[in-house]
Amino acid sequence: MNYMNSGHEASSMNPLKDMINLRNKDFVKKRRLMKPFATWIHIWGFVTGAVISGEFSGFNGGYSYGLGSMIVAHTLFSILMISVSMNLLELTIAMPFASGCAAWAKAAFGGPVGCLIGLAYTLDMVFIGANVTLFLGTTLTSISSNLSSPILNWLVTMGFCWLLNLHPKVFFNVITALSAVSIVLVFAPLIACWGQFDLSLAWETLLPNGTISNAYFPFGLDGISKSAPLALYLLVCFESLPVAVEETKDASFSLKWGMLTANLTLLVASWTVLIICAGMKPGSVALSAVSFPYTLILTKAFPDAHPQLINIINIPAIFASQLATFYASSRHIYGLSRSGYLPRFCSLTNRWGSPWVALLITCILWFTFSLLLQFIPNSNTMTIFFALGTLFAMTAYLIQPLVYLKLHFHLPSLPRPFKVPFGLGPCFAGMNFLIAVVGILGMVSSGAVWTWSALGIFAGYAFVTPFYFFVIQHNLEKSPEKIFIKEQLKVRADESLISESSGRESKSLEAWKNLMQGTEDVSRRSDAVNTDRHHNRRGISISVTSFARKTSIASSTLQQQQQLQQPPAVKKGTKDAVDIQDNIQALWG
């Protein structure tokens, strides 16, 4: 059977049969990720590591707009992180695919939106990763004159990232250790220099006329909007969580506790750094003008210490962020390729389950962008790249809550092992959307560079949309994501048809709730099917094997229920049923 099928074939085939057949496809065999290994502590290390460099540099530029402006902006983004994290957890555990929000958006709004948000997350990681690479090279140069070649520094650090990512188990262990060391280095210098803290220094802001202001908001709303990207620097990249789901053991437990502990760690660290650093001598005015605030604080507190040695304190955190965003970038590329949005060869994996082609592509992209940042003779180049990375993240934050709300109401039967507590999922999504809108509007209005960067991004989206319809959609693969979502829509349609015809609520929701219990009977059924029909015990991943098991019992239960109820013929004009059937055709046709 040809792997690429027409839309009519895809919509008419049995999703469970598709899933079982998919196990033996050569396409998938070459794209298997590592067997689930990561625990909650590894997830904590990954998410924390992706963010932690922002606590050592970047944020301090916001002091030039006043500490009060930074506090307001950081409060909004702290709420954003919590709300996005809760919604991400629910969807990641319910639909456990490395392509993350691209798969969810496809289920909610169709392929074009899935393509756009997938590219947004990927480019977010690529631009931020290039910035981190350049920053790490600058840090190494400041330590020793023997490390004065930026290109050599980039090649060495990216080479380490590539080698560590070739074996995912090694990556998770290293990133967890680096994150732990980095968190210690966030607090240790501040404790050592506590005697230098003076709260009055924290509120000082240098005005354009050269005078010092102690006002909480010296530049009003304009200062808040201009400080917003720098406040986001303290937290950006936490959204990389979904890419690790297929390599996580006991995802429901590990992702939940890993993400929640990472959120708590980052909130405590970011607020501590934001407030305490501002009050450390020589004060927020001096700190706003340097690249390494910790270096200046420690040099002031310990004048006999060598500044080059002090700079070493920045390296673990910056390398942790480079390593984590390298992993996230490669997994985004892998997920988009496996689904068909990018060329097929980009998702090939090695014997350890690492997408080696995606790793090489990440190296090439980072190196190219770092060259542009270093050698383009334009003072705005760094600002443009920073603006692009930030705005890609913000557009992803903008679309993600819409995806959550659509799936929340459109696919209520989707098994959700983790749900946002107290039914607050839609409320979190609403706050997320509102903050993202306010953040984008504030950033776009803060300067010409940000305005043109936003226009460039939306122009890119406008170009990608027709390109999707004419090129990409004809190359979409029958990926695990596609079959999973197809089955969910099929179950939703069956429930609607039964409800419309019989006048009473379908009982299939209860059957789907029981899917997550993972009984031994279900396992025996799945193993028997796999042994008899294919004599192949190797699955594409734990998430796909689990789905095949759960779908088997659900399909059987649903068929028995339909036979017992024997509903009369359904009037095809009923709006709900027709809408769902149209959605199936639109998504998979």
Per-residue pLDDT of the chain (589 residues; tens, 9 = 90+): 333 333 333 333 444 445 445 544 677 778 888 888 999 999 999 999 999 999 998 899 999 999 999 999 999 999 999 999 999 999 999 888 888 888 899 888 988 999 999 999 999 899 999 889 988 988 888 887 666 777 888 899 999 999 999 999 999 999 999 999 999 999 999 999 998 999 999 999 999 998 999 999 999 999 999 999 999 989 999 999 999 999 999 989 999 999 999 999 999 999 999 999 999 999 999 999 998 999 999 999 998 888 778 889 999 999 999 999 999 999 999 999 988 899 889 999 998 999 999 999 999 999 998 888 878 767 777 888 888 889 999 998 999 999 999 999 988 888 888 999 998 999 999 999 999 999 999 999 888 889 999 999 999 999 998 998 888 887 776 666 677 666 666 665 565 455 444 443 334 334 333 433 333 343 344 444 444 444 443 443 444 444 444 444 444 444 444 443 433 333 333 343 334 334 433 333 3
Domain boundaries, the chain: 31-472, 480-588
Among 3, 9, 42, 45, smallest CA distance to 22 is for 3
Q: Are 70 and 225 in contact (CB under 8 A)?
A: no
Helix ranges (DSSP H) in 148-250: 150-166, 168-192, 199-202, 220-232
Q: Tell me which H or E stretch contains 206.
A: strand 205-206
C-alpha 34/C-alpha 440 separation (Å) is: 37
Write down the pLDDT at residue 150: 79
Q: Are 370 and 130 in contact (CB under 8 A)?
A: yes
Model confidence pTM above 0.95? no
Q: Are 497 and 558 in contact (CB under 8 A)?
A: no
Among 413, 571, 428, smallest CA distance to 493 is for 413
Phi, psi dihedrals of residue 503, rounded to the nearest 5°: 80, 10
Angle of the 293-301 helix axis to the 251-279 helix axis, nearest 10: 50
Q: Are 585 and 7 in contact (CB under 8 A)?
A: yes
C-alpha 250/C-alpha 68 separation (Å) is: 42
Q: Are 298 and 188 in contact (CB under 8 A)?
A: no
Longest CA–CA separation in the chain, Å: 88
Q: Tell me which H or E stretch contains 456.
A: helix 448-470
Report residue 575 as tokens: 């709006």
SS3 of residue 213 by DSSP: strand
Report residue 191 as tokens: 């404790």
Angle, CA 577 vertex, CA 510 and CA 522 arms, to 5°:
30
CATH of 31-472, one of 2.70.70.10, 1.10.540.10, 3.40.50.1950, 1.20.1740.10: 1.20.1740.10
Phi, psi dihedrals of residue 289, rounded to the nearest 5°: -105, 5
C-alpha 380/C-alpha 392 separation (Å) is: 18
Write down the pLDDT at residue 270: 97
Phi, psi dihedrals of residue 283, rounded to the nearest 5°: 105, 165
Q: What is the DSSP-derived secondary structure letter of residue 233?
A: T
470 burial type by CB count under 10 A (0-12 exposed, 13-18 middle, 19+ buried): exposed
C-alpha 115/C-alpha 586 separation (Å) is: 15
C-alpha 338/C-alpha 331 separation (Å) is: 10
C-alpha 83/C-alpha 88 separation (Å) is: 9
- Give the residues across from 205 on adjacent strands: 213
The amino acid that residue 319 corresponds to is: F
Distances (CA, A) of 196 to 56, 283, 299, 373: 18, 10, 12, 36
Distance separating the N- and C-terminal Cα atoms of the chain: 18
Report residue 86 as tokens: 């809760």
* Beta-carbon count within 10 A of 441 CB: 12
